[in-house]
Amino acid sequence: MSQLRWVLEVLLGASLAWIVSSADDHKDLLVSYLFNGYNQYVSPFVQRQNSQNNMDIAIRLSSVTVSSVNEQDFTVKVLVTVNYRWFDPHFRWEPSEYGNISRIAYSSQICILVTEVTVLTPDSMSALIRHDGLIIQDTNLVIIYNCPMNFDAFPFDRQSCQICFALDGFSGSNINLIDTPPDDRQLSSNSEWDFVSNLTIDECKTALDGLTTDTESLLFVQLSIVRYHFILARRSFFWVFLIVVPSCLICIVAQFGIFFSYAEIIVENAVSIGLNTMTSLMLAVTVLADFLAKTNNLPGLGWFVLMDIVIVCASVISILIIDHLRSFTI
């Protein structure tokens, strides 16, 4: 009985080993068949004569995280997760010929057709390939975009920015980049900025500058673009309690010190308190000058600090004038 059990175990182990080995052989044959002679720099789209067929690439922006906002350079750094889906006729096979393998996962630079603007970390990508030619690719990118900013309402300002994806060059002539919104897009803020609302999407095609459209030969050279617009609101708590409240309290204390001194030393106190107060407020001006870009308009917080300085200066001048009139009268 024990010998029979030993024989069965040997036969079962051999069968399992043969199945695993056979599956590996089928997978190796499939990978060799798919990537033999594959050129990742050539678009899967082919324009045949008198053919109007277009190719669609679905793009999905699954998550966006604001990493940093550079007010000096007018740039926004974001971390995004992007999913691409498209069909490539080159990656089609019959599952029955390869051990009923219907899909494989592959980590490589498979042709994406999408150019990320100022991508910092595009090193490795992974793709899921289905037997009917469907390719699903997920990428995690760190991207820096230009964002026109307005600081008139600082620190209660809101900045309208966008994330742009495009199909560039001649490969985009008859290829459409189409947004497919996810069920739940994750928008993550940082310590200073909040997302005001969800993303709004704008899809368009723009003719490339300097290139003409030849209708007879069907050379429609266009740029397919998907823009994701979003609004960031600054968290004002930090600036309110670091600049606004201290500046207001300094101004109030200075007013009490200027106008509630003894008549004999009121001039000396007014000048001393006024100079010390304006020096303290100039520190806030220095902070704003180093933090914000140099624009034609003064930010709201800058106007507030400037008015504090003007009030203190006017109070000191008023005391000097009053004391001079009192002396003149006596």
CATH number of the domain that residue 69 is part of: 2.70.170.10
Report yes or no on 4 lying in a domain: yes
| Interatomic CA distance for residues 64 and 81, integer angstroms | 7
Instruction: Write down the H helix ranges in 176-265.
Output: 237-239, 245-259
Instruction: Give residues with Cβ within 8 angstroms of 251, minimum separation 6.
Output: 277, 281, 308, 311, 312
Residue 50 lies in a domain: no
**Mind listing the pLDDT tens digit of every residue in the chain (330 residues)?**
444 444 334 444 444 343 334 556 777 788 888 778 777 767 776 655 555 567 788 888 888 999 889 888 888 998 888 888 888 888 888 888 888 888 887 765 555 444 344 343 444 567 888 888 888 888 888 888 888 898 888 889 999 998 888 775 554 456 778 888 888 888 888 888 999 888 888 887 766 554 444 444 444 456 778 889 999 999 988 888 888 898 888 888 888 888 887 767 778 888 888 888 888 888 888 888 888 877 778 888 888 888 988 898 888 888 888 877 877 776
Is 45 inside a domain boundary? no
Distance of CA 123 to the CA centre of its chain: 18
Question: Residue 47 domain-assigned?
Answer: no
Say what the pTM is.
0.71
42 is a domain residue: no
In contact, 236 and 261? CB cutoff 8 Å: no
In a domain, 323, yes or no: yes
Residues 222 and 291 in one domain: no
221/122 same-domain check: yes
Give dist(CA 233, CA 247) in Å, integer.
23
Q: Are residues 228 and 244 in the same domain?
A: no
Task: Count how many domains the chain has.
Answer: 3
- Asked if 294 and 273 sit in the same domain, the reply is yes
Please work out, in degrees rounded to the nearest 5, the angle formed at the alpha carbon of residue 108 by the alpha carbons of 107 and 112.
115
Residues 33 and 148 in one domain: no
Among residues 234, 266, 288, which one ends one of the domains?
234
Domain coverage including residue 290: 238-329
CA–CA dist 316, 255 (Å, integer) = 9
User: Shortest CA distance to 111 belongs to which of 91, 94, 131?
Assistant: 91
Task: Please tell me whether residues 173 and 225 are part of one structural domain.
Answer: yes
- Among 234, 249, 275, identify where a domain stops: 234
Neighbouring C-beta atoms of residue 300, cutoff 10 Å:
15
C-beta of residue 100 within 8 angstroms of C-beta of residue 131? no
The reply to whether 59 and 139 lie within a common domain is yes
Say yes or no: 100 and 208 in one domain. yes
Let me know if residue 49 belongs to a domain.
no
